């Protein structure tokens, strides 16, 4: 790029002449002098969007970057929303942050802005997991809360997740109301940055204990843990907040043989031992797997920086380590919890589970076999949390999750919780070992009983302004020219969650989808394969979720049937032009 568009230049001039600090202005001027026009355009061509979940972006100077000004304006807008909606009471918020670079200092900016607006702030003195922030909001009777995290994004990113009084992320109509208030902050001059220390209270261990006590109550196989307490577990927080909470949670459950990946227990926002701090990636678990091989462990677990997602590895029938994807782990958890509740005589007809529309439909099939209601929501755990709050006191939530490695057991929080997930996964391993089995064998037995489902996620990255436009055009093309067949099977149903309509491709009959509008397309074939296309709301990606299934007669048939299903997924992706 050889020059700047006038709109970008105008915004840059505002930052160079407005109420921004001298260091920020000097950085912008240096970029101008060095003619870094592409970088400047990406940093200023738009405002960093405050979406339904908050903010997430690359750290740096500019209106489309994470910095104290974009976070300050977001917090001022949220403060205005809270003051309008709670005019006659002392408003309270809780703030937590993870290990990312600048999270602690940016969290202090957020606390200052809230307190400058007369809002009481409960401020975690050190990094804490996202689910504990959700718990603290509920425990302390807050009207809102913020956690600073960019989840599993690369080290250049940070983010700001906003929560409502139930401990879940804001949902309609409040999410739109918050976004409108943030949008109404015309300039950095509208932000009250000078905090009131008297309104900021430091919290820590007392909330940790209450949170941990709630997790311990969710154990359903205490006797198995007592007998198998020394099962060998390797855990890594990948430099993040899981190191604060998960080792003591495992200890509280009664596990006595936990090996930590010490190099990754070090809190470091540069994530020096991994390419990406994402437990979905095999590379991120490589050090944990090496440690597991060294000590002949039985279970490997690793969490993302804010500890709301967990990845696991187990040994297969040949004693080779394999990574479970999010669908495999989530389905196992739900199957285990339903089995435990049934065996304990606790299924009364009022229990339910929740998953998202892109998460394995094997979960629906299992729930049906237990006569437990299974709800499907849009992608995003806030919708699961919203449903739990809506049904609180009417029905009993057992467990739920989404394919992106996020699960929840129990009603103590309203977001995905890798801390409770980790202890329940460890408990599952102990339970099945006590039965003379393993997590891998339990997975195969589940497939034999309920059907063999195989899922795969393919993400296509398109960076910058041009990439965003390309992703939107891909969705337009799929809507205008949907595939007639995928993997050799006719497409019989097209679900467009944006228009909230589903079309029977054979009869042309159109039905309604009873979910909020979302930019998601779903193609369902005659043989039960499902492909969902969805632009990411937090990353410059378009995601394709593919699910295929078949029967599995016995454990021995698994490798052959797995190859057949993998080939089918590849055929479907080729038909879509996605590789």
Q: What is the pLDDT of residues 414-466, one digit of tens each?
A: 999 999 999 999 999 999 999 999 999 999 999 999 999 999 999 888 887 77
* CATH number of residue 539's parent domain: 3.30.310
The mean of the pLDDT values for the chain is 95
Cα 124 to Cα 95: distance, rounded to the nearest angstrom: 6
Q: What's the order of all strands across the beta sheet hosting 54-58?
A: 54-58, 157-163, 144-148, 92-97, 120-124, 200-203
Asked whether residue 410 falls in the same domain as residue 463, the answer is: no
Asked whether residue 358 falls in the same domain as residue 469, the answer is: no
Q: What is the pLDDT of residues 107-122, one digit of tens each?
A: 999 999 999 999 999 9
Q: Using 50, 70 and 90 to split pLDDT, how confident is the model at 538? A: low
Q: What is the pLDDT of residues 211-236, one digit of tens each?
A: 999 999 999 999 999 999 999 999 99
Q: To 10 degrees, the CA torsion angle through 164, 140, 92, 537?
A: -30
- Which of 426, 450, 474 terminates a domain? The answer is 450
Q: What is the pLDDT of residues 292-328, one digit of tens each?
A: 999 999 999 999 999 999 999 999 999 999 999 999 9
* CATH number of residue 321's parent domain: 3.40.120.10
The catalytically annotated residue of 103, 151, 236, 532 is 151
The C-alpha angle with vertex 549 and arms to 498 and 367, in degrees rounded to 5, equals 75
Q: Using 50, 70 and 90 to split pLDDT, how confident is the model at 93? A: very high
Average pLDDT value for residue range 174-195: 95
Asked whether residue 416 falls in the same domain as residue 379, the answer is: yes
Asked whether residue 247 falls in the same domain as residue 279, the answer is: yes
pLDDT of residue 52: 74
Which range among 433-447, 465-479, 505-519 shows the weakest confidence by mean pLDDT? 465-479
pLDDT of residue 577: 87
Asked whether residue 327 falls in the same domain as residue 441, the answer is: yes
**Residue 221 catalytic?**
no
Asked whether residue 456 falls in the same domain as residue 442, the answer is: no
Cα 514 to Cα 158: distance, rounded to the nearest angstrom: 34
pLDDT of residue 479: 95
Q: From residue 508, how far is each of 366, 505, 558 by CA, in Å?
A: 31, 5, 38
Cα 162 to Cα 151: distance, rounded to the nearest angstrom: 14
Cα 301 to Cα 225: distance, rounded to the nearest angstrom: 17
Cα 465 to Cα 75: distance, rounded to the nearest angstrom: 26
- Which of 144, 177, 203 terminates a domain? The answer is 203
Q: Using 50, 70 and 90 to split pLDDT, how confident is the model at 563? A: very high
- Which of 400, 419, 450 terminates a domain? The answer is 450
Asked whether residue 164 falls in the same domain as residue 219, the answer is: no
Structural domain harbouring 300? 211-450
Cα 66 to Cα 74: distance, rounded to the nearest angstrom: 11
Own/partner contacts of 561-568, CB < 8 Å, gap of 24 or more, are 561/452, 562/454, 565/452, 565/454, 566/454, 566/456, 568/487, 568/529
Asked whether residue 69 falls in the same domain as residue 140, the answer is: yes
SS3 track for 303-359: ECCCCCCEEEEEECCCCCEEECCHHHHHHHHHHHHHHHHHHCCCCCCCEEEEEECCC
Asked whether residue 148 falls in the same domain as residue 269, the answer is: no
Q: What's the order of all strands across the beta sheet hosting 233-236?
A: 258-260, 233-236, 299-303, 310-315, 321-323
Residue 560, pLDDT > 90, answer yes
pLDDT of residue 576: 92
Tokens 């932000």, residue located: 191
pLDDT of residue 466: 79
Residue 381, pLDDT > 90, answer yes
Asked whether residue 246 falls in the same domain as residue 317, the answer is: yes
Q: What is the pLDDT of residues 341-360, one digit of tens each?
A: 999 999 999 999 999 999 99
> Dihedral sign, CA of 30, 34, 40, 42?
negative
Asked whether residue 278 falls in the same domain as residue 413, the answer is: yes
pLDDT of residue 555: 97
pLDDT of residue 461: 86
**How many domains, the chain?**
4
Asked whether residue 329 falls in the same domain as residue 282, the answer is: yes
Residue 1, pLDDT > 80, answer no
Q: Using 50, 70 and 90 to split pLDDT, how confident is the model at 51? A: confident
Tokens (6 digits) for 383: 């919708």
CB-based contact 405:326 (threshold 8 Å) = yes
Average pLDDT value for residue range 80-104: 97
**DSSP characters for 211-245?**
HHHHHHTT-S-HHHHHHTTT--EEEE-TTSTHHHH
Q: Using 50, 70 and 90 to split pLDDT, how confident is the model at 340? A: very high
């Amino acid at each position: 790029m050889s020059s700047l568009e006038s709109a970008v230049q105008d915004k840059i001039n505002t930052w160079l002449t407005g109420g921004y600090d001298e260091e920020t202005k000097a950085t912008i001027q240096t970029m101008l002098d060095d003619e870094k026009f592409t970088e400047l355009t990406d940093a200023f061509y738009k405002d960093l969007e405050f979406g339904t979940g908050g903010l997430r972006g690359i750290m740096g100077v500019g209106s489309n970057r994470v910095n104290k000004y974009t976070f300050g304006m977001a917090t001022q807008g949220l403060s205005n929303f809270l003051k309008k909606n709670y005019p006659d009471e002392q408003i309270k918020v809780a703030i937590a942050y993870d290990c990312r670079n600048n999270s602690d200092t940016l969290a202090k900016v957020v606390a200052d802005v809230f307190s400058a607006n007369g809002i009481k702030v409960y401020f975690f003195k050190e990094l804490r997991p996202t689910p504990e922030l959700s718990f603290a909001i509920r425990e302390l009777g807050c009207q809102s809360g913020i956690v600073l995290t960019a989840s599993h994004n690369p080290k250049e990113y940070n983010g700001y997740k906003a929560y409502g009084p139930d401990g879940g992320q804001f949902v309609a109509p409040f999410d739109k109301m918050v976004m409108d208030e943030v949008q109404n902050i015309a300039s950095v001059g509208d932000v009250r940055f000078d905090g009131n220390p008297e309104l900021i209270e430091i919290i820590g261990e007392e909330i940790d204990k209450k949170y941990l006590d709630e997790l311990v109550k969710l154990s359903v196989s205490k006797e198995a843990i007592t007998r198998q307490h020394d099962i060998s577990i390797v855990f890594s927080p990948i430099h993040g907040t899981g190191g604060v909470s998960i080792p003591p949670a495992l200890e509280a459950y009664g596990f006595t043989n936990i090996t930590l990946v010490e190099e990754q227990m070090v809190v470091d926002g540069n994530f020096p031992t991994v390419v990406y701090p994402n437990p979905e990636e095999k590379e991120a678990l490589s050090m944990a797997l090496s440690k597991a091989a060294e000590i002949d462990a039985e279970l490997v677990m690793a969490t993302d920086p804010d500890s709301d997602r967990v990845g696991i590895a187990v040994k297969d029938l040949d004693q080779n380590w394999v990574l479970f994807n999010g669908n495999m782990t989530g389905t196992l958890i739900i199957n285990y919890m339903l089995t435990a509740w049934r065996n304990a005589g606790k299924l009364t007809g009022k229990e339910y589970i929740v998953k998202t529309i892109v998460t394995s439909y094997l979960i629906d099939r299992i729930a049906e076999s237990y006569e437990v209601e299974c709800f499907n929501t849009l992608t995003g755990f806030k919708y699961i949390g919203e449903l739990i709050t809506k049904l609180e006191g009417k029905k009993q939530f057992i467990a739920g999750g989404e394919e992106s490695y996020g699960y929840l057991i129990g009603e103590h929080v309203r977001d995905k919780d890798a801390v409770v997930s980790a202890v329940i996964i460890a408990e599952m391993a102990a339970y099945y070992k006590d039965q003379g089995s393993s997590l891998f064998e339990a997975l195969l037995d589940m497939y034999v009983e309920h059907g063999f489902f195989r899922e795969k996620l393919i993400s296509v990255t398109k960076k910058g302004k041009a990439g965003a436009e390309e992703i939107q055009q891909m969705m337009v093309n799929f809507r205008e020219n949907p595939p007639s067949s995928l993997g050799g099977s006719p497409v019989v149903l097209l679900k467009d969650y944006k228009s909230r309509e589903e079309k029977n491709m054979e009869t042309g009959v159109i039905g309604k989808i009873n979910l909020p509008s979302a930019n998601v397309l779903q193609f369902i074939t005659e043989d039960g394969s499902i492909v969902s296309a969805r632009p990411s709301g937090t990353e410059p990606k378009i995601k394709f979720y593919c699910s295929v299934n078949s029967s599995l007669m016995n454990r021995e048939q698994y490798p052959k049937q797995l190859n057949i299903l993998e080939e089918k997924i590849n055929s479907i992706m080729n038909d879509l032009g996605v590789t």
